[in-house]
């Protein structure tokens, strides 16, 4: 698991995730600011895994997860969630999300999740 794409509408979140991933020797192939763009990038680049924000304009994380899993049932998708999104998290589990990281980001949590998907 060495290549990733980051799908998140928040520039700050994208840059924090990129820094953590790159510091741990993951290659970030692309960033996308909404689910539609993210799904296009997924099809084009077929990364080892994706970090996918739940709350985004145009196409949210749940819809994007559905499309990615339809395209590639083995896709490894790490959902990015915030407090109070339990319902969406349950939905994402049913749809096959691999793991969850919560905002605000905690480097240690992200690193242990990356180790768990290796
Ligand atoms: Mg968001």
CA 81 to centroid of ligand 1, rounded, Å = 8
With beta carbons less than 8 A apart as the criterion, state whether 35 and 48 touch.
no
Question: Which CATH architecture fits 3-117?
Answer: 3-Layer(aba) Sandwich (3.40)
pTM: 0.95
* Residue 18 pLDDT level (bands cut at 50, 70, 90): very high
Dihedral sign, Cα of residue 87, residue 92, residue 95, residue 98? negative
CA 63 to centroid of ligand 1, rounded, Å = 14
CA 26 to centroid of ligand 1, rounded, Å = 22
Dihedral sign, Cα of residue 14, residue 81, residue 98, residue 106? positive
- The pLDDT, as a whole number, for residue 99 is 95
> What are the sequence ranges of the domains in the chain?
3-117
Output the CA–CA distances (angstroms, integers) from residue 48 to 54, 61, 65, in the order listed.
19, 18, 15
- The pLDDT, as a whole number, for residue 59 is 94
């Amino acid at each position: 698991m060495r290549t990733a794409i980051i799908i998140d509408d928040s520039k700050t979140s994208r840059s924090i995730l990129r820094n953590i991933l790159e510091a741990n020797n993951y290659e970030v192939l692309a960033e996308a600011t909404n689910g539609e763009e993210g799904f296009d990038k997924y099809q084009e680049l077929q990364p080892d895994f994706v970090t996918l924000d739940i709350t985004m304009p145009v196409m949210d994380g749940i819809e994007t997860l559905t499309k990615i899993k339809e395209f590639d049932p083995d896709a490894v998708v790490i959902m990015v969630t915030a407090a109070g999104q339990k319902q969406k998290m349950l939905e994402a589990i049913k749809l096959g999300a691999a793991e969850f990281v919560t905002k605000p980001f905690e480097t240690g949590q992200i690193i242990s999740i990356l180790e768990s998907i290796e």
